[in-house]
Amino acid sequence: FGLSNKFDTEFPSVLTGKVAPEEFKTSIGRVNTCLRKNLPVNVKWLLCGCLCCCCTLGCSLWPVICLNKRTRRSIQKLLEWENNRLYHKLGLHWKLSKRKCETSNMMEYVILIEFLPKYPIFRPD
């Protein structure tokens, strides 16, 4: 369904001077822990759904779709919590985004780190 089983913990060079590498690794570690807890259950339901797909006319795949949606929502909530806790104060915004793979026409989910615009606080109204 396009959701990775883990995200890379390597510190991107573009964040140098913006975020401590330890904070970055902690945040990615939390996301990877969430994936590690949820994805084995999704795989079991996917195998079961594929085996029973012909008998149920595809309805056996609904639990997998719902579990995948729940996993995405929990990651989005976790990223929003991280944003409110730290990253918005540093002028960054993390979000889960869907994009097309470079090697095929399939879609995948990635974590985008956007730089928030700085507001001129000394400018008169």
Distances (CA, A) of 94 to 66, 104, 108: 24, 25, 16
Q: Is the pLDDT of residue 119 over 80?
A: no
Domain boundaries, the chain: 2-9+21-115
Angle formed by the axes of helices 21-51 and 62-82, nearest 10°: 170
Q: What is the mean pLDDT of the chain?
A: 82
| Res. 61 pLDDT band, cuts 50 70 90 | low
Say how far apart CA 41 and CA 44 lie, in whole Å: 5
pTM assigned to the model: 0.78
